[in-house]
Structure 1
Protein backbone atom coordinates (compact mmCIF):
# COMPACT_ATOMS: atom_id res chain seq x y z
CA UNK A 1 0.00 0.00 0.00
CA UNK A 2 1.87 3.09 -1.17
CA UNK A 3 -0.07 5.59 0.96
CA UNK A 4 1.51 4.07 4.08
CA UNK A 5 4.97 4.92 2.85
CA UNK A 6 5.84 8.20 4.62
CA UNK A 7 8.98 8.80 2.63
CA UNK A 8 7.87 11.50 0.14
CA UNK A 9 4.91 12.92 2.10
CA UNK A 10 6.66 13.45 5.38
CA UNK A 11 9.30 15.61 3.71
CA UNK A 12 6.63 17.65 1.93
CA UNK A 13 4.71 18.18 5.15
CA UNK A 14 7.86 19.09 7.04
CA UNK A 15 8.95 21.53 4.36
CA UNK A 16 5.55 23.20 4.22
CA UNK A 17 5.38 23.62 8.00
CA UNK A 18 8.89 25.00 8.15
CA UNK A 19 8.17 27.47 5.39
CA UNK A 20 5.00 28.54 7.14
CA UNK A 21 6.57 28.95 10.55
CA UNK A 22 9.78 30.62 9.38
CA UNK A 23 8.68 32.75 6.43
CA UNK A 24 4.96 33.36 6.35
CA UNK A 25 4.08 33.60 10.02
CA UNK A 26 6.47 36.47 10.94
CA UNK A 27 5.21 38.44 7.96
CA UNK A 28 1.62 37.97 9.07
CA UNK A 29 2.37 38.84 12.68
CA UNK A 30 4.13 42.07 11.74
CA UNK A 31 0.95 43.71 10.46
CA UNK A 32 -0.59 46.30 12.70
CA UNK A 33 -4.18 45.94 13.71
CA UNK A 34 -6.65 48.39 12.25
CA UNK A 35 -8.51 48.74 15.55
CA UNK A 36 -6.08 48.53 18.43
CA UNK A 37 -7.65 47.57 21.74
CA UNK A 38 -8.52 50.49 23.94
CA UNK A 39 -8.45 50.82 27.70
CA UNK A 40 -11.99 52.15 27.84
CA UNK A 41 -14.10 51.03 30.75
CA UNK A 42 -17.27 49.32 29.51
CA UNK A 43 -20.38 51.21 30.51
CA UNK A 44 -23.55 49.45 31.49
CA UNK A 45 -26.80 50.77 30.16
CA UNK A 46 -29.82 50.96 32.39
CA UNK A 47 -32.73 49.06 30.96
CA UNK A 48 -36.33 49.64 31.84
CA UNK A 49 -38.86 46.80 31.99
CA UNK A 50 -41.06 46.35 29.00
CA UNK A 51 -44.75 47.09 29.48
CA UNK A 52 -46.83 44.56 27.68
CA UNK A 53 -50.14 45.85 26.33
CA UNK A 54 -52.13 42.70 27.15
CA UNK A 55 -51.30 42.47 30.88
Structure 2
Protein backbone atom coordinates (compact mmCIF):
# COMPACT_ATOMS: atom_id res chain seq x y z
CA UNK A 1 0.00 0.00 0.00
CA UNK A 2 1.73 3.21 -1.10
CA UNK A 3 -0.21 5.34 1.38
CA UNK A 4 1.71 3.83 4.27
CA UNK A 5 5.13 4.68 2.87
CA UNK A 6 6.43 7.46 5.18
CA UNK A 7 9.52 8.07 3.08
CA UNK A 8 8.76 11.50 1.51
CA UNK A 9 6.08 12.68 3.94
CA UNK A 10 7.99 12.21 7.16
CA UNK A 11 10.83 14.42 5.93
CA UNK A 12 8.36 17.07 4.71
CA UNK A 13 6.49 17.03 8.03
CA UNK A 14 9.67 17.33 10.11
CA UNK A 15 11.05 20.10 7.90
CA UNK A 16 7.79 22.03 8.09
CA UNK A 17 7.56 21.63 11.85
CA UNK A 18 11.16 22.74 12.40
CA UNK A 19 10.68 25.72 10.08
CA UNK A 20 7.61 26.76 12.01
CA UNK A 21 9.20 26.19 15.42
CA UNK A 22 12.52 27.93 14.85
CA UNK A 23 11.78 30.62 12.26
CA UNK A 24 8.12 31.58 12.08
CA UNK A 25 7.02 31.16 15.69
CA UNK A 26 9.60 33.53 17.27
CA UNK A 27 8.72 36.19 14.70
CA UNK A 28 5.04 35.86 15.51
CA UNK A 29 5.61 35.94 19.25
CA UNK A 30 7.75 39.09 18.94
CA UNK A 31 4.76 41.19 17.89
CA UNK A 32 3.20 43.39 20.53
CA UNK A 33 -0.44 42.86 21.24
CA UNK A 34 -2.65 45.68 19.99
CA UNK A 35 -4.96 45.47 23.00
CA UNK A 36 -2.92 44.57 26.07
CA UNK A 37 -4.88 43.58 29.17
CA UNK A 38 -5.20 46.25 31.81
CA UNK A 39 -5.48 46.08 35.58
CA UNK A 40 -8.34 48.56 35.72
CA UNK A 41 -11.59 47.37 37.14
CA UNK A 42 -14.43 47.59 34.64
CA UNK A 43 -16.92 50.35 35.27
CA UNK A 44 -20.52 49.35 35.74
CA UNK A 45 -23.33 51.63 34.73
CA UNK A 46 -26.69 51.82 36.42
CA UNK A 47 -29.25 51.52 33.69
CA UNK A 48 -33.01 51.39 33.79
CA UNK A 49 -34.87 48.71 31.87
CA UNK A 50 -36.67 49.69 28.71
CA UNK A 51 -40.43 49.81 29.04
CA UNK A 52 -41.93 48.18 26.00
CA UNK A 53 -45.27 49.66 24.94
CA UNK A 54 -46.87 46.29 24.15
CA UNK A 55 -46.27 44.63 27.52
Structure 2 residues not aligned, in runs of 5+? none
Structure 1 residues not aligned, in runs of 5+? none
User: What is the TM-score when the length of structure 1 is the normalising length?
Assistant: 0.80
| Alignment match, 2:47 | 47
Aligned-residue CA RMSD in angstroms? 1.4
| Alignment match, 2:29 | 29
How many pairs does the alignment contain?
A: 55
Structure 1 segments, 4+ long, off by >4 Å, are: none
Q: How far apart are residue 11 of structure 1 and its match?
A: 1.0
Aligned residue for 1:54, secondary structure, equals: coil
User: What is the TM-score when the length of structure 2 is the normalising length?
Assistant: 0.80
